[in-house]
Structure 1
């Protein structure tokens, strides 16, 4: 199917980017639920899939609302006026979705499982349950990795903005994805599913880079602007192992043990895992992680009975500067 989105001067003026936690939720869950592990995200899938299954999320609300391919309910990815909305803000928008929109989305989704039926019967109550499940999924699957993901998404936006500044909007649209092309003030999209037209959308365009999207995805519900989620540049480097050089320089400031722990947190890990890998006592690991957390270099995320520690953007920047 060929879809065309025409642009006036006002539409171009209202075109902007956003980093959306909910778009990462729906695209990552779809990828996680797929059969074979995706080659780019295999390391993430191997770590996260057991946690999600242990929490029962592989057969919960998201499993019923997010099919392997095709349409995604619009209410799961509400448009935001912010360049980087917090997950809490997006969940509040989901909970506030009008009942008629929920029913319309479910009609288009065409699924008749028990949870979809329950959502039809009582949208207000069930949307609260859905948002609670999304919070659980976020803590298990995305929060420990969010600092890395944000680096990739922000770098993509920086690259796209620079393209516009140097070459104009045509270069931006032609370079977003192989299924997109820009000509005669019109963005043309070769897509396999639902179409999108300017008549069926609000003004402007919301561009959403995604680390987990494998193709472009669109959202269209007036009066909001259409959304276009696309695969972010650099997503293939997210899970690459990057040895940190000049660790002695960091150790001179942070100390050897804390530097070792930061380098070991290439992937999120528990206190017990870090103690086993580093030879530092569990008590010592806990003490150092507390200090690193107080300094804003490590974050903690509950995963069932365990707590996973992850490097923050501050730590990622520090290690990248010495690599």
Structure 2
């Protein structure tokens, strides 16, 4: 079965990327319920499982079962490229109770008693779900978000270059085998059929680590959104920054050598700081030295400055490997 979207030229022109901490949080509920499906996240599961005893996740698990459809109102499509969790959670709190009721009734295989409680009073149910998401975020996810964000950011930067250099054809060709683009229609292999137009409002592309390796779609009444598996998810739970060879460390210093190696993929100061376990200020100072030495260069992408290695930096990093 297939989802088929007809994309007009204005839709193609309005393709945009976004990050969603809320999507990752909700997707991680499935990871908890089926660890074998995503064994790659076992380090995270082992870390947070002892913390679950103090949380009541029954209603969240009912709305987000291990497989199949889950209630869309808990993952509203991001309306900005870099939404923070508080802003996304506010969208959940403002979700239409009527819409949430329809979605809850479409769920199959969930706990009937828990769902019945939600269906009997969706206004109170939406409020409880938002509170549960907030507690789950603070207890099990917030401290890990910078690491997840860094992985998603590197993926988006890489694919943004693909879109700029090769257009939609090159972007969709490398997105996922389940996604195919004909120049007019976007086909997404899903367990159900849907044929619709995007109506000129574009398409939001959201990379995901915790929904990996699957794709997901959202359609009207929501903004059309395609969630795709992020590349490099196997590196997500690696401990610490990449090791710096001794010779490169002796030349640049250990931290600068690690940062130069990490810039194999363009990154922001904040993302590097999270990966290096350094303060943003310290990373900024090291980047300044690398830039002054001609080994790295910053480029503005939207409101952020993204750093990458120069050809000289590439040569130094590769020769030291």
Instruction: Give the TM-score taking structure 1 as reference length.
Output: 0.73
CA deviation map 1:59-85 (0-9, x unaligned): 522111111111111101112321111
Provide closer, same or farther for how the CA distance between residues 317 and 136 of structure 1 changes in structure 2, counting only shifts above 3 A.
farther
1:219 corresponding residue in structure 2: 218
1:100 aligned to which of 89, 98, 101? 98
Closer/same/farther in 2, CA of residues 202 and 92 from structure 1, 3 Å limit: farther
Instruction: Give the Å deviation of 1:11.
Output: 0.9
Identify if the C-alpha distance between structure 1 residues 312 and 144 changes in structure 2 by more than 3 Å, giving closer, same or farther. farther
Q: Give the drift of 1:112.
A: 5.4
Q: CA deviation at 1:250?
A: 6.9
Deviation at 1:161, TM superposition (A): 0.6
**Cα distance change, pair 37–199 in 1 and its aligned pair in 2 (3 A):** closer
For the 8 Å contact 2:8–2:198, the answer to whether it is kept is no
- In terms of mean alpha carbon deviation, does 64-73 or 106-115 score higher? 106-115
Greater shift, 177-186 or 200-209, is seen at 200-209
Q: Structure 1: which 5+ residue stretches go unaligned?
A: 252-296, 299-309
Q: SS of the counterpart of 2:39?
A: coil
Tell me the equivalent position of 2:89. Answer: 91
Q: Which residue of 2 aligns with 1:55?
A: 54
In the alignment, structure 1 residue 314 sits paired with structure 2 residue 312: no
Q: Given that residues 64 and 70 in structure 2 are in contact (C-alpha distance below 8 angstroms), is that contact kept between their aligned partners in structure 1?
A: yes
**Partner-residue secondary structure (3-state), 2:4:** strand
Q: Distance in 2 between matches of 1:71 and 1:153?
A: 24
Deviation at 1:87, TM superposition (A): 1.2
CA distance in 2, matches of 1:312, 1:88: 25
Counterparts of 1:26-37 in structure 2, within 5 Å, are 26-36=26-36
Other structure's SS at 1:170 match: helix
Could you tell me which runs of 5 or more consecutive residues in structure 2 were left unpaired when the two chains were aligned: 256-272, 291-316
Q: Alpha carbons of 1:320 and 1:33: their partners in 2 closer, same or farther (altered >3 Å)?
A: farther
Calculate the aligned-residue CA RMSD, in Å: 3.0
Is the Cα contact below 8 Å between 2:22 and 2:85 reproduced in 1? yes
Please name the residue that 1:114 is paired with: 113
Contact map agreement 1:156 1:233 (CA 8 A) in 2:
yes
Runs of 4+ off more than 3 Å: 199-202, 242-251, 310-313, 315-323
Structure 1 residue 8 corresponds to structure 2 residue 42: no
1:148 aligned counterpart, secondary structure: helix
